[in-house]
Structure 1
Amino acid sequence: MKHITLLYPEGQCNLSTVACIIGTVEIFARAGDYWKQQGNKHKYKVVVASTAPKETYIGNLVSLKPDVYISEIARTDLIIIPSAMPGNPTTDSQAMIDWISRQHKAGAEIASMCSGAFILAATGIMDGRSCSTHWSYADKFKETYPDVHLHSDKLITDERGVYTNGGAYSFLNLVIYLVEKYYDRQTAIFCSKIFQIELDRNSQSAFAIFSGQKQHGDDMVQKAQDYIEQNIDEKFSIESLSSRFAVGRRNFDRRFIRATGNTPVEYAQRVKMESAKKALESTRKTVNEVMYEVGYSDVKAFREVFRKVTGLSPLEYKNKYNKEARAGY
């Protein structure tokens, strides 16, 4: 029988951590029952492991008691890191990070859920690898772990036995993905039906809310960001924008990228698309009306940028999120 360790990261837990742990335990238990019902032998043992014998109430609502302590686990086949609040490592969390590193060197695969990617990245294992995390943590993650290739649009990454996923309750999609990896496709389909989790979701782009990196201290870039955000309907060139702030185009680009993580063009596109998304979600405006309001006159260009940002066409997005549009009003 193989061994799966679900970590309980003391000191970094919130209610999402609890949800990840409980959801994973329940789905893997149901997968195991289904597997045995098909005439197979029991395949995996799942345990919840922590670094020390602590029970802390989370949100004054619930506490979790681990099955074992990581010091008792000599060898495991898969480590699952749940969502966890990013922060400076404590003595306990550092012990967990060191244990993850040792287990990975011994051949264990690893999966992180949501902001659990911060714990995984702290091991150094993710350097040079692809990774995902909750879109709202993308800027903080890039700043903290610049050697990791973050793909915050992806729901799941799978690279050489290391799995990561996007944010919040999309951990359920990762669990189904792991069930297919560790059992088979039919078991994954069964679990997806029982728990009503969509199979094969691969993007979190449609859920992202763009707010822009503002905590960078570059006054010129801040003014440029403000100008872009206050003139969404304007179609302007980056040359005209840089000259507005008396900065050469090359230097303007360099400072903007360093401060925000986006090129000026990308930033303007994200701001415009965020405004378009809100209009499509909450108004009866047509796609063309919204397009003109955010400074586009070319339907094809607007659709291409919108799909690049959200993973959906403008009409698909409107039908998905606008209740009145779905009802045919």
Structure 2
Amino acid sequence: MKHITLLYPEGQCNLSTIACILGTVEIFSRAGEYWVQAGNTPRYRLVVAATVPKTQYVHNLVALSPETYIGDIAKTDLIIIPSAMPGENTADRQVMFDWINRQYKAGAEIASMCSGAFILAATGIMDGRSCSTHWAFADRFRNMYPEVNLHSDKLITDEKGIYTNGGAYSFLNLLIYLVEKYYDRQTAIFCSKVFQIEMDRNSQSSFAIFTGQKQHGDTMVQQAQAYIENNIDEKISVEGLSSKFATGRRNFDRRFIRATGNTPVEYAQRVKIESAKKALESTRKTVNEVMYEVGYSDVKAFREVFRKITGLSPQEYKNRYNKETAGKY
């Protein structure tokens, strides 16, 4: 029987941490029961392990008692890191990082959920590899771990025994993915039906809310961002924008990318599509009406950019999120 370690990481834990732990225990327990009922021998043993030798952790209304301490686990086959930030730079945190690194070098696979990607990245294991986390943490993550290839649009990444997933309760989709990996497709389908979790979701783009990175201190770029956001209905050219701020196109591009993580064109597209999303969610306007309001005149171009950013067509997005429209389908 193989071994799965589900961490309770001493750090910045919250109710999402507890939710990840409880959801993992329940889904893997049900998968194991189904597997045995089908005539198979038990395959995995899952334990909840503390990263600091405590007997109980209390957070708000929840008290959690880990089964063991990571220092007592010599070998494990899979480490699951729930939603949690690394916390302060303490000796206990380094013990956790060292233990994760040691287990990985010994052949263990690792899965992180939501902000748990920050803990995984802090170990150094993710440098040069693909990773996902909650879309709301994307800018912070890129600033802290520039060597990691963050794909904040992806719901799940899978690279050389490292699994990561997007935000919040999308950890349930990662669990179904892991059940298929560690049991089989049929067990995963069973769990998806029992717990009513959609299978094979691969994007979190439609959930993202674009706010733009403005904590960079470049006044010119902040002014350019404000201009783009205040003139959504205009077709903005980068040449015109750079000349407005009396700087060359190449220098303008370079400063904008360094400050925001987006090119000026990408930023304008995201601002326009975010405005379009809100209109599609809350008004009776047609897709074409919304398209014109955010500065597009070419239906095909609007649809392509909208799908690129959200993973859905404008009409699909309206059908999903507009209450009045939803009742008609």
Q: Calculate the TM-score normalised by the size of structure 1.
A: 0.98
Distance in 2 between the 1:85 and 1:74 partners?
A: 25
How big is each residue's C-alpha offset from its partner over 1:220-267, in whole Å with a ceiling of 9 and x where there is no partner?
000000000011011120000010001110000000000000000000
Alignment partners' CA distance in 1, 2:269 and 2:94: 40
Tell me which residue corresponds to 1:57: 58
Which TM-score applies when normalising by structure 2? 0.98
SS of the residue corresponding to residue 302 of structure 2 reads helix
Q: Which segments of 5 or more consecutive residues in structure 2 lack a partner in the other structure?
A: none
CA distance in 1, matches of 2:245, 2:223: 8
What pairs with 1:3-82 in structure 2 (closer than 5 Å)?
A: 3-51=3-51, 52-53=53-54, 55-58=56-59, 60-82=60-82
**Counterpart residue number, 1:83:** 83
Give the SS at the match of 2:178. helix
1:65 CA drift (Å) = 0.8
Q: Distance in 1 between matches of 2:120 and 2:28?
A: 22
Counterpart residue number, 2:234: 234
What SS does structure 2 have at the residue aligned with 1:46? strand
Q: Distance in 1 between matches of 2:168 and 2:134?
A: 7
Separation in 2 of the partners of 1:54 and 1:283?
53
**1:99 is aligned to 2:90:** no
Instruction: Name the residue aligned to 1:259.
Output: 259
Partner Cα distance (2:283, 2:312) in 1: 18
| Aligned-residue CA RMSD (Å) | 1.0
The answer to whether the 8 A contact 2:81-2:111 is kept is yes
2: CA distance, partners of 1:272 / 1:111: 35
Task: Tell me the number of residue pairs that the alignment of Structure 1 and Structure 2 aligns.
Answer: 328
Per-residue displacement from partner, 1:175-210 (whole Å, max 9, x unpaired)? 000000000000000000000000000000000000
Partner of 1:279: 279
The equivalent residue for 2:157 is 157
- Whether contact under 8 Å (1:7, 1:79) holds in the other structure is yes
Q: Which amino acid aligns with 2:296?
A: Y
Q: Where do 5+ consecutive residues of structure 1 fail to align?
A: none
The amino acid that maps onto 1:78 is: L
Partner of 1:168: 168
- The one-letter amino acid paired with 1:22 is L
Q: Is the 8 A contact 1:134 1:166 kept in 2?
A: yes
Q: Residue 232 of structure 1 contacts residue 271 of structure 1 at CA under 8 Å; is this kept in 2?
A: yes
Amino acid at match of 2:211: S
Give secondary structure in 2 for the equivalent of 1:63.
Answer: strand
> Structure 1 pair 258/158, CA: closer, same or farther in 2 (3 Å)?
same
**AA at the equivalent of 1:326:** A
Report the 3-state secondary structure (helix = DSSP H, G, I; strand = E; otherwise coil) of the residue aligned with 1:114.
coil
- How far has the Cα of 1:86 moved from its partner? 5.2
How far apart, CA to CA, are the structure 1 residues paired with 2:122 and 2:323? 42
What is the CA-CA distance between 1:327 and the residue it aligns to? 1.7
Which amino acid in the other structure matches residue 218 of structure 1? D
Matches within 5 A, 1:183-198: 183-198=183-198
d(CA) in 1 for partners of 2:253, 2:92: 42
How far the C-alpha of 1:85 sits from its partner, in A, is 3.0
* Partner amino acid, structure 2, of 1:231: N
Q: CA deviation at 1:163?
A: 0.3
- Name the amino acid aligned to 1:308: K
What residue is the counterpart of 2:135 in the other structure? 135
Identity across the alignment (%):
80
Distance 2:310 2:238 in 1: 23
Q: Using the alignment, how far apart are the partners of 1:64 and 1:98 within structure 2?
A: 24
Residues 113 and 164 of structure 1 are in contact (CA less than 8 Å); yes or no, is this contact kept in structure 2? Answer: yes
In structure 1, the residue corresponding to 2:5 is in which secondary structure?
strand
Distance 1:219 1:87, change over 3 A: farther
Query: Offset at 1:54?
Result: 5.0
Deviations 1:139-160 (A, max 9, x none): 0000000010000000000001
Aligned to 2:164, the other structure's residue is in SS state: strand
Residues in 2 aligned to 1:221 and 1:179: alpha-carbon distance in whole angstroms = 46
Number of the residue aligned with 1:303:
303
Aligned partners of 1:86 and 1:115 also within 8 Å: no
Contact 2:2–2:43 (8 Å) recurs in 1: yes
